[in-house]
Structure 1
Amino acid sequence: MKKFINHHSGTVVLVLITLLASCRAPEVALKQADKNVPASFKDQTLPDSISVAEINWRTYFEDPGLIGLIDTALQNNQELNIVLQELVVSQNEVLERSGEYLPSVNLGAGIGAEKPGRFTRDGTVEHSLEIEEGREFPEPLGDFQFGAMASWEVDIWRKLRNAKDAAQLRYLAANEGRNFLVSNLIAEIAESYYELMALDNLLQIINNNAGIQEEALRKVIIQKENAKANQLVVNRFEAQLLNTRNLQYAIRQQIVETENRINFLVGRYPTTIQRNAAGFMDLQIDSMQAGIPARMLQNRPDIRQAEYQLQAANMDVLVARADFYPSLDIAAGVGFQAFNPSFLLKPESILFNLAGELTAPLINKKGIRARYNMASATQVQTVYQYEQTVLNAYTDVLNQLTKLENYANSLVTKQQEVDILSESVNIANSLFRYAKADYVEVLLTQEEVLDAKMELVETKLQQLQAKVGIYRALGGGWR
C-alpha cells in the first residue's frame, strides 16, 4: 500500500512539473503611446486659460432658433439613438464578462424510466437483487432526481477579470464615441443654420440688385427711344438682368436643400426653419480662448475614446497571454436521486460530487500563439491610432484658429471693397447718363458690386463657421 501511495504521489508531481514546464509564455512588451503635445497653440505664450470648449453650448450659441433645433436633435436624431442602443449592448457585455469569473450554480430536476433486457448484465443484476427482503426491483426501474450543480473556472491569472476590464473600457470608449457624435451633431446643425441665414442674405442681395438692373434697363430703353442708345446697349443690360434673375433659382434650391438637411439632422420631416436672417451680418464673434493643448486631451471625446480603446487593447494582450498558463476548473453537485418518489427525500438518496481539473496546453500551441500575436499587433495598431487622433485634433484646432483670424481680417477688407464698388456704381450711372462713360463700364461695375456683396456674405459665413469649428475642435458641445 505504501509503494502504491508513493507511486501515485510521484505521478501527480510528474504531471504538475509537466504542466508548469509547458506554460512558458512570451514576455509582455506593450508599446507605449507618445502623449507629448506642444505647450501651446500657434505662438501663444499665455498661461492656461478656460477653453471655449468648457462653455455650455446653450451659452455659446445664443440664437433661440438654433438652440431649439439642437434640443430637438438631441432627442430625435436617429443616428444618435442608434448609438445609445449600442451603449446598452456594450453595458450588457460588461455584465456578461463579470459573470464569467464567478461560480455558476444551476438547479435541475429529472424523471425517467429504464428496463434493461433480462439477459443483459444490468437485467441480470436487477433480477438477482432485492430492494428490501422479499421486495424485488420494479420493472421498469424509475429514476427521479433533483439537485444543484456548480461550476467555477478559478481565475488564477486574472484572465477573466482582465477580459471584464477590457469590456468595461470599451463601454467607456463607446460612451465617449457618443459624446463625440453629439459634439459633431451640434456643430453640423449650427453650421447649416448659419449657411441658411447666409443664403437668405444672398437671395436678398440678388433681389435688390435685380431691382437696380431693372431700373437701369428702363432708363436705357428710354435713351434708345430718344436716339441716345442703340439696341446693343439694351440687349446687354437685359441679358445682365436675366443672368441675375437666374441666380435666384440656384439660391432658392440651396435654401430648400439646406432646410431639408437641418430637418434630417433634427430627425423630422421637412418643414420651414424659423430664423432671423436680417441680423446675420451683425452677428458678433467674441474673443476665443483655446487653452493649452494638454487640456484639449481632456476635452475632446475622440481622444478620450482612443485612450480607452488603447487601455482595452492592453488588457486584451494580457488575456491572450494567460492562455499559455494552466486553467483550473472546479465542479460540484449535490442532490437526491431514487427510483421511487417515496424514497427521494431519504438520507440514503443523497448524492454529491466534487471534482477539480487542471489543464494546460502542451503540444501544438500555434492557435494560442496566433491569438497572442494578433492581440499584440492590435495593441500596436491602437497606439498609432491614438497618436493619429491626437495629431489630427491638434491640427484641427490650429486650422480653425487660423481660419477665424484670417476671415475676420478678410471681412474688414471685403466690406471696404463693397463700399467702394457701391459708390462706383452711382458714379458710373451718372457718367453714363451724361455720355461720359461707356455702358460696358456700367455693366462691369454692377457685376463687380454684386460679386463683392455675395463674397462679403460668404466671408461672414466662413467666420461664423470658424466659430463653430473651433468650439467643436476643442471638444465643446457634448457636456
Structure 2
Amino acid sequence: MQYIPCVAFAAAAAGCSTYAPVAQNTPKLRVPEQFATAADTGSMAALPWQRFFTDSSLRALIDTALHNNPDLLSAVQHMQEAQANVLQSRAALLPVVNATVSAGLDHYGKYTMNGVGNDDTNLSQNVKGKRKIPDPTPDLFVGLRSSWEADLWGKLQQRKKAAVARYLATGMGRHLLVTELVAAVASLYYQLVALDREQAIVQENITLQANALELVKVQKLGGRATELAVQQFNAQLLNTQAIAYEKKQQAIALENELNNLLGRFALPVLRSKDFAGMGDSAAAGIPAALLQRRPDIQQAAFELEASKADVQAARAAFFPSLVLSPYTGFNAFRASVLFNGASLAYGVLGSVTAPILNRRELKANFSVADARQQVAFQQYRKTAVQAYNEVLTQLEQIRNAGEIARLKQQELEQLTNGVATAKDLYMAGYANYLEVITTQKNLLDASLESIEVQRRKTVATINLYKALGGGWDWP
C-alpha cells in the first residue's frame, strides 16, 4: 500500500513534464484602407432590404422566400444542432449526478483477505444479530453517485469556447443564406422585368414587320416589288415571331426558378414594368467594414476562433486531470436494514490521471488541431480577399454599364431615324428592300441589347449590395 502514493505522484509529475507543443502563430489580416474606385465612408449595405428595395411586389416575394425557402429553414435546424453542442460542452463543466440502485452478491474464499476478515469480524463479541456478515455476502446500495472533472488547465472551457464559436458561425451561415436569397430573388425579379420589356419590343416589331409585309405585297401587285422581296419580308416576320416564343419560354423558366426559391408550386409572379423600385446609390464604404458586415467573413472568423480553441484544448490534454467521485446513500448487506439510518454512507474518491503511454496520440491530435487552425485562417483570408474583389468588380460593372447604356441610347436614336429614312427611300425607289430589312433587324437587336444592359446594371447594383454584406437584417 505504501507504493500507491508514490506511483500517483510519479504519474502526476510525468504528466506535468509531458511535452506540450506550442501552436503556430496565425498572422493578422490587413485590408486596404479604401476601394480603388470609391472613397465613400457610408455603405449602402447599412440599409435593410425593406428600405433598399422599394418595389412592393418585390418586397412581398422576398418576404415569402424568407419564410418558405427550404434551405433557409434547414439552416435554422443546423443552428439548433449547434446550440445543442454548446449545451453539451457547458454540461461537461458541471458534475454528473446519477441516482443509483445496485445489488451484488460475493462469496469470498477462505484464503482471501475478505474471507479471513469476515470470519474474524463475525467472531467479535461486538458484532451480533443483523450486523453479522452473511456468506455469500450481498452488497446493496440506493443513493446518489457523482463524478466531476476539475478543469485545472482550461481544457473543458476551451471546448465550450469552440462550441460557442461554431454556434455563432452557424448563425452567420444563416445570415449568409438570407443575403444570397434576397439577392437571388431580386435578380430573378428584374430579369423577368427585362424579359417583359423585351417581349413588348418584339411584339411591336412583329406589328411593324407585318405592316411592312402587307405593303410589299401591295407593291408587288402594282409591279413595284418582286416575289423575292415578299419572301424576305415574310422570313423576317417569321424569325421575329420565333424570337417572341423564345422570350416567352425564358420567362416561364425564370418564373419557375423564382417559385423554387419561394418554396411554392408554380404561380404567376406579379411584377412591375420597369427597373425602378431599388436604391440607386453605389456607396461602398471602407473595406474594413466588410470584416464586420459580410456574413461569410464573420462565419470564417468564428470558425477560426473555434479552431484556436481546439488547439488550446488539445494542448491542455497533455496535462494531468483531476476527477472527484463523491457518493451518498444507503448501503448494507441485508435488505431488512437497508433503509435504516445506521446504513447511511457517504464518501469521495479523488483521482489524478496523467498521460504517459498515449503521448503520440495526443501529439497527433494536437497536430491535427493546429493544422486545422492554419486552414481556417487561410479560409478566412481567402473569404476576405474574395469579398474585396467582388465589391470592386460590381463597382466597375455599374460604372461601365452606365456608359454602355448611354451609348446604346444614342445608337437607338440613330437606328430609329435610320428605319424611318430607309422606308422613305424605299418608297421613293432610292433604297432596296434589303436595306429596310437590315435597318429593322439592327433596331430590334439594339433595343434588346439596351434592355440587357439595363438588366446587367440593375443586377450589378443588387450584387454590390450583397457583396457589401447587405440584406441579412432579418429576425
**TM-score scaled by length of structure 2:** 0.92
Partners of 1:284 and 1:19 in 2: CA distance: 64
Report the Cα offset of residue 287 of structure 1.
3.1
User: Pick from 286, 302, 306: which aligns with 2:300?
Assistant: 306
User: Pick from 244, 250, 262: which aligns with 2:240?
Assistant: 244
User: Pick from 156, 169, 184: which aligns with 1:160?
Assistant: 156
- Alignment match, 1:52: 44
Report the Cα offset of residue 337 of structure 1.
2.1
**CA-to-aligned-CA distance 1:188-211 (integer Å, 9 cap, x gap):** 000000000110111111111011
Report the Cα offset of residue 404 of structure 1.
0.8
Q: Secondary structure at the match of 1:108?
A: strand
- Alignment match, 2:331: 337
**CA-to-aligned-CA distance 1:311-363 (integer Å, 9 cap, x gap):** 11111111111121111111121111234443122243223332222121223
User: Pick from 90, 101, 117: which aligns with 1:98?
Assistant: 90
* CA RMSD in angstroms, aligned pairs only: 2.7
**CA-to-aligned-CA distance 1:254-306 (integer Å, 9 cap, x gap):** 111111111111111110001122x34x6676332111111122111111111
**Worse-superposed segment, 134-143 or 103-112:** 134-143
Pick closer, same or farther for the CA change 1:259–1:246 going to 2, 3 Å: same
Report the Cα offset of residue 144 of structure 1.
3.9
Report the Cα offset of residue 159 of structure 1.
0.4
**Worse-superposed segment, 387-396 or 139-148:** 139-148
Partners of 2:245 and 2:429 in 1: CA distance: 35
Q: Secondary structure at the match of 2:97?
A: strand
User: Pick from 59, 67, 71: which aligns with 2:59?
Assistant: 67
Pick closer, same or farther for the CA change 1:67–1:374 going to 2, 3 Å: same
**1:33–1:383 CA contact under 8 A, matched in 2:** no
Q: Secondary structure at the match of 2:326?
A: strand
Letter in 2 for 1:25: A
Identity, in percent, stands at 36
Letter in 2 for 1:440: L
User: Pick from 25, 39, 47: which aligns with 1:30?
Assistant: 25
**Worse-superposed segment, 286-295 or 349-358:** 349-358
Partners of 1:37 and 1:173 in 2: CA distance: 22
Q: Secondary structure at the match of 1:151?
A: strand
Alignment: residue pair count: 468
Partners of 2:285 and 2:131 in 1: CA distance: 93
Letter in 2 for 1:262: L
Q: Moved runs in structure 1, 4+ residues, more than 6 A?
A: 117-126, 134-141
Report the Cα offset of residue 117 of structure 1.
11
**Worse-superposed segment, 348-357 or 185-194:** 348-357
- Alignment match, 1:467: 461
User: Pick from 9, 12, 17: which aligns with 2:13?
Assistant: 17
The runs of 5 or more residues in structure 2 that have no matched partner are none
Partners of 2:225 and 2:258 in 1: CA distance: 50
Q: Secondary structure at the match of 2:31?
A: coil
- Alignment match, 1:315: 309
Pick closer, same or farther for the CA change 1:13–1:459 going to 2, 3 Å: closer
Letter in 1 for 2:34: S
Report the Cα offset of residue 116 of structure 1.
5.7
Pick closer, same or farther for the CA change 1:449–1:290 going to 2, 3 Å: same
Report the Cα offset of residue 456 of structure 1.
0.7
Partners of 1:284 and 1:89 in 2: CA distance: 37
Q: How does 1:149-298 map to 2 (within 5 A)?
A: 149-277=145-273, 279-280=274-275, 286-298=280-292
**CA-to-aligned-CA distance 1:406-447 (integer Å, 9 cap, x gap):** 111211111111111111111111111121101110110000
Report the Cα offset of residue 30 of structure 1.
2.7
User: Pick from 386, 405, 416: which aligns with 1:411?
Assistant: 405
The runs of 5 or more residues in structure 1 that have no matched partner are none
Partners of 2:369 and 2:362 in 1: CA distance: 11
Determine whether 1:399 maps to 2:393.
yes
Report the Cα offset of residue 230 of structure 1.
1.1
User: Pick from 369, 375, 385: which aligns with 1:375?
Assistant: 369
